[in-house]
Structure 1
């Protein structure tokens, strides 16, 4: 409806769609957690793979009618916790942080992700690198930053 849209005709941030376009057999939902600065805001599709928390609990009294409502509200609230933004972001920050960690790991372990040419194939095995993949001993993280989110 037009009265429920923002100035760009996007749904309001916090809009959840969990009926109609989602699968009936599975627990999934669409959440538009952010307001588009320009253009069209795209909702994120969340899919619950395994639920070990909300399935066994009874819904507490309050504004929530089901465990799905609790998870959807939690997911939306988490979108405000991204350290690089002052407003909500489109997907949950753990997904953003995982992407940052993978980008940083790709830089540290670039030898495993760059294509190996035929001339350097022999030198890679001579240098002692493991053909199975990277080893945790290959990346040394300083003890002062080991327990911090240095990749942000």
Structure 2
């Protein structure tokens, strides 16, 4: 387990730098920085929260594989520690194909909590609106296949949410602005005159913006909801999770499982041997959040 720092940052030894460093080191050695408490439909029954992302090779690289990373919460009901699984995919392929990553993480949840999760909440990053059908036809069945491979008839209810970072929606306050003139942190927009008329999605500004800049709210699209969340419940869950990102003492802009999946995929790119293979991470390291 390692933690790298830039020499110039160490020499300055500022309070903010030391705080950030301590947060990263603590979580890498198995500590917990922030926990989720009393959130509806998470802390009531054993619940596993997934995050998934796929990274693609840089432009000009026409042969290297894409890399998929999936993380899942292990420490119910705190929902603070996430284990990851990584796999190579065909070049440029966005849809996740390896269902063994899901089964590996669900099995790890069972080993940690002495029981299988009774609810699955899945946050997926990087999927365009044109790929929603592909996700429903391939990724959702793969999650079900992973559950069935663990135990016959095991099919916990699934809520599947797409996270959109790249969109052009911006919101301006008419009253109750924050100190920088931006909309207040925690603002949700889910009005049908702005959001999609058929898909349920909402915009959430979950972080404090930099003074003088315009904050970028995230858009969350609920593709599937077998857990029957109300609008308020799913919005409160996402906003609550945004306060548990291990590397930051404040609420962040994107739901943390997606952040973690992105970090894991980026780290896996460094591990890939010439883009041809992905070495296995040793279990004594893998059980911790080494990728943060």
Counterpart among 1, 10, 29 of residue 182 in structure 2? 10
Higher RCO by CA contacts (8 Å cutoff, separation 6 or greater): 2
Q: Which runs of 4+ in 1 moved over 6 A?
A: none
Q: Could you tell me whether the CA contact under 8 Å between 1:2 and 1:9 is conserved in 2? A: no
Return the alpha-carbon distance in structure 1 between the equivalents of residues 215 and 264 of structure 2. Answer: 26
What is residue 262 of structure 2 aligned with on the other side?
99
State the match for 2:241 in structure 1: 78
Structure number with bigger Rg: 1
Partner of 1:150: 290
Report whether the alignment pairs 1:32 with 2:205.
yes
Out of 43, 46, 49, the position equivalent to 2:223 is: 49
Corresponding position: 1:88 with 2:228: no
- Determine the C-alpha separation between the residues in 2 that align with 1:110 and 1:21: 46
Q: Deviations over 1:32-67 (max 9, x none)?
A: 001112311110011112112126xxxxxxxxxxx0
- How far did residue 110 of structure 1 move? 5.2
Q: Could you tell me how far 1:2 is from its partner in structure 2?
A: 4.4
- Give the TM-score normalised by structure 2: 0.39
Question: What's the secondary structure of 1:29's corresponding residue?
Answer: strand
Corresponding position of 1:69 = 232
Distance 1:76 1:48 in 2: 15
Deviation at 1:143, TM superposition (A): 2.4
Deviations 1:68-98 (A, max 9, x none): 1100011011100001111100010011001
SS of equivalent residue, structure 2 residue 203: strand
Deviation at 1:24, TM superposition (A): 1.6
1:105 to partner: Cα distance: 0.7
Structure 1 portions without partners, runs of 5+ = 56-66, 113-128
1:111 to 262, 265, 274: 274
Equivalent pairs, count = 118
Answer 1 or 2: which has greater strand percent: 2
Q: Could you tell me how far apart the structure 2 residues matched to 1:17 and 1:68 are?
A: 11
Q: What SS does the aligned partner of 2:239 have?
A: helix
* TM value normalised by structure 1: 0.72
